Each structure stands twice: as C-alpha cells, then as structure tokens.
Amino acid sequence: MPTGSAADHRSTAPPADPGAAPVMLELVDEDGTTIGTAEKVSAHLPPGRLHRAFSVFLLDDRGRLLLQRRALGKYHSPGVWSNTCCGHPHPGEPPFVAAARRTCEELGVEPALMREAGTVRYHHPDPDSGLVEQEYNHLFVGLVRDRLRPDPDEVAETAFADSAELERMRGSLPFSVWFPTVLDAVLPAVRELTGSRHW
C-alpha cells in the first residue's frame, strides 16, 4: 500500500522550452493507422488529436498490481495514481518497444515478462489540467520481479495492490482520468496471466 497521500494538484500545459527539441507523437485514425505526427502538448490541447499511446500493467508473483503515483512536477495529471507505466511511442517506434523502454526509464526495472493485451480507444478530458486524452492505447501485461528504482522526476511513489486494496485506494485517492478505462480493458488479460478470478 502507498506510504503517503496524494492531494489535489492542478496543472496547466507548460510553456515551450525554446532550447528543447519538440516531443512528437504519432497521430492515428480510428483503426489505429498512422496518419501523421503532432507535437506532444498540442495533441493534448482541446479538443485533442487522436494519437498512439500505451499502458503497462505489471504484477508481482503474488498477483498484486504495480501502481505508480505520478511525480508532482509532471505537466499532465501530476500527483495522481495510475497503472504501472503509460506513455507514447516515438513516431515509428513499435508500441511494445516503447512500453518496455518507458518502464525501464520510469521505474528502473525491466519486465520479467510482458505481452500484448489488446487496444482501447478513449476520449477523456482532464478537468484539472484542461488537457484532453484522445488516445488509441496499446495495452500490455506482464510480471515484475526485480527491485524498483523509480526516477523521482517521473514517479512520486509506488505501491503493489491486490484487487481489494486497489478498490480501497480508488475510494480515497485520486487516480488518472484514463485509469478506469484501461483497467477495464486489460482485466481479461490480467486474469489470464495470474490465473486468478479475484481481479
């Protein structure tokens, strides 16, 4: 369970850093076919532009889900709980490769096992930041066995939770706007991986 609490942290899109190269996302159509690219922040400004994303759900050998609380300095959804890792592939980068890369970058650990678990498309405005998630999201499930070494610029806190613990957390702590959608979509794969009906 988490060792701290998450407060309400409101955010707005950051000013552009003139010295930084723009982060580009892959725009897609409703079938997930690439149709172009867009700068990351602009793709999240209302009404949002549909782009490729990924969400990772890693579990330990006891079947507990690894959750992270996003760092307070993040421009989008800071200080809220969410799944193990999520993000966006670079244009042309396979989603599986991006998911493994970002898991290592954010949490300092490589999945012991990871496999595809389908896709989900959603449109979620975030009332706190004013940003919009229009995403074609590739889902991945897997196992984690090594010690975590989270990057504090990305991750404020981590927790392993079984289904009952997760339900309690969701009743008292803020979660990302996309978390309920990706969790519902990935649960069949989580149950298959763990062999548990408790999820």
| Active-site annotation, residues | 86, 135
Name the strand (E) or helix (H) holding 141.
Answer: strand 132-143
Phi-psi region at 48: left, alpha or beta (left = phi > 0; alpha = psi -120 to 50):
left
Question: 52 to each of 35, 40, 69, 94, 170, how far by Cα in Å?
Answer: 11, 11, 22, 10, 26
Instruction: Report the alpha-carbon distance of residue 121 to residue 53 in Å, rounded.
Output: 10
Question: What separation, in Å, do the N-terminal and C-terminal C-alpha atoms of the chain show?
Answer: 17
Spell out a b/e string for 58-94, using b for 16 or more CB atoms within 10 Å of the CB, else e: bbeeebbbbbbbbbeebebbbbbbbbbbbbbbbeeee
Residues 3, 68 contacting (CB under 8 angstroms): no
